[in-house]
Amino acid sequence: MKKLTMQQLSVLVELHDDKVWEHDTMKAHKNTLNSLYNKELIKSVNYANGEFWEMTDKGLDIVDFIKNK
């Protein structure tokens, strides 16, 4: 797996705690979100009320590893 920065790990944990973010969120920088998306740690999901960021199973595994360490 490619290395993750502390900022990317922090965003993963925060998204995990919040469960879902709107696509135009101000909680994280777009470059960080795009990097996590490209690493398949988060996904972009379309619902009737908008587009959202959610965790993937791969992202959940990393957060679980971090929290259990």
What CATH number does the domain containing 30 carry?
1.10.10.10
Q: Is residue 17 part of a domain?
A: yes
Q: For residue 22, what are the CA distances in angstroms to 28, 67, 69? A: 11, 24, 29
Average pLDDT of the segment spanning 2-11: 92
pLDDT band per the 50, 70, 90 thresholds, residue 67 = confident
In a domain, 55, yes or no: yes
Is 1 a member of any domain? no
11 inside domain: yes
* 24 is a domain residue: yes
Other C-beta atoms closer than 10 Å to the C-beta of 36 total 24
Q: Write out pLDDT tens, residues 12-34.
A: 999 999 999 999 999 999 999 99
**What is the model's pLDDT at position 15?**
97
**Nearest by Cα to 37 from 19, 16, 58, 22:** 58
The model's pTM: 0.90
Residue 20 CA to residue 45 CA, distance in Å, equals: 10
Q: What average pLDDT does range 5-16 have in this prediction? A: 95
Task: Look at residue 27 and tell me if it is in a domain.
Answer: yes
Q: Domain of residue 44: give its range.
A: 6-68
* Domains contained in the chain, number: 1
Cα angle at 26 between 25 and 31, to 5 degrees? 85
